[in-house]
Amino acid sequence: KIPPVKEGDWTKGNRHVQEWMAACKKGGQPCASFAYSAPLAEMVLLGNVALRSGTPIEWDSAKMQINNAPEANRFLRREYRNGWSV
């Protein structure tokens, strides 16, 4: 369990940033840790892929691909212009 956030000196509007910085400095865990937020972001982005493809998708997270609609895999990555890469 993650302890509740104390109001204390948190400034309104950037409390999550202050909490994250405190977790980095003290070794704790913020309420919105990457263990929680990364799968949530993945789910939201895959929802967008399903909408763009126009079909429900079955996601294989280990292989990072869509199993039931191979044509939807084109929405997962982009082809970069010459001279640009990630």
Averaged in consecutive runs of 10 residues, what is the pLDDT profile of the chain (86 residues)?
60 73 83 82 96 96 95 92 85
Structure tokens at 83: 């001279």
Is 3 within 8 Å of 9 (Cβ atoms)? no
pTM, 2 dp: 0.64
Instruction: For strands 59-60 and 65-66, give the pairing.
Output: antiparallel
- CA 39, distance to chain mean position in Å, is 6
Q: Distance between CA 59 and CA 70 in Å, rounded? A: 11
What sign does the CA torsion over 54, 58, 61, 65 have? negative
